[in-house]
Amino acid sequence: MDIAGETRENMHISDVASGRQYRFVLPGPTITHAEHLALLNKLADVMPGAQFVVISGSLPLGTSPDFMDKLAALADVHDCRLIADLSGDGLRQATMAGVYLIKPNLGELAALANKEELSETTAIESARRIIYAGGATLVVVSMGAAGAILVTADLEERLQAPVVKSVSTVGAGDSMVAGIVWGLLNGEQISAAVRYGVACGTAATLSEGTGLCRKQDADTLYRHIVTGNRQTE
């Protein structure tokens, strides 16, 4: 749907000498109350028959404080599983509303837990508290090149990522979420789906600029993860 404001711009600068990447995230437009309602109505129109709804990024300025509550309620009505790949206040709102899955990184999870930083052990403890409080059914903690941690009410699993020569990390998190959803849509158990998500996130780092993952790369990396071979070309 269209809004009055302009799409925000993000700039990513790669330092060829050091291999470091710098991201400049500019502020986006302010959403009006009418646009907020129009979006919810649009979602209500397209949700019937859908299995998953993914909300990612950050909540725009002007977003109603009860937006996540309304979105979660819509998802429940249409029997959709809501996945939130958000940060900051958006992530907090998502866990207050109750969603199917959240995918924070360690820093985002630490902020949600009001901690300066988290280790893998304390990250699992924080994820479990969210689950027990009804904030999410599943928590996937993204750790970049180190892979991810899957936490459920009765499971914790560390999933290692294959070692690759990264070109760009832009879009790796989005690719990871897409891989998880793809796996679940194809009937995979959550552990296998998250493994495929890790493969897709890693595959995205092989593409230059804003290029996302290529399925051939993701499938190859997934086989490395399943066989326990972390090293690949």
DSSP state of 102: E
Q: Which of 15, 174, 217, 219 is catalytic?
A: 174
Residue type, 229: N
Q: DSSP class of residue 81? A: E
Q: Is 174 a catalytic residue?
A: yes
Q: How far apart are CA 26 and CA 99, in angstroms?
A: 28
With residue 123 as reference, give the H or E element that holds it.
Answer: helix 120-132
127 Ramachandran zone, left/alpha/beta (phi>0; psi -120 to 50): alpha
Residue 134: strand, helix, or coil = coil
> Residue 72: which of 64, 61, 80 has the closest Cα?
80
- Residues with active-site annotation: 174
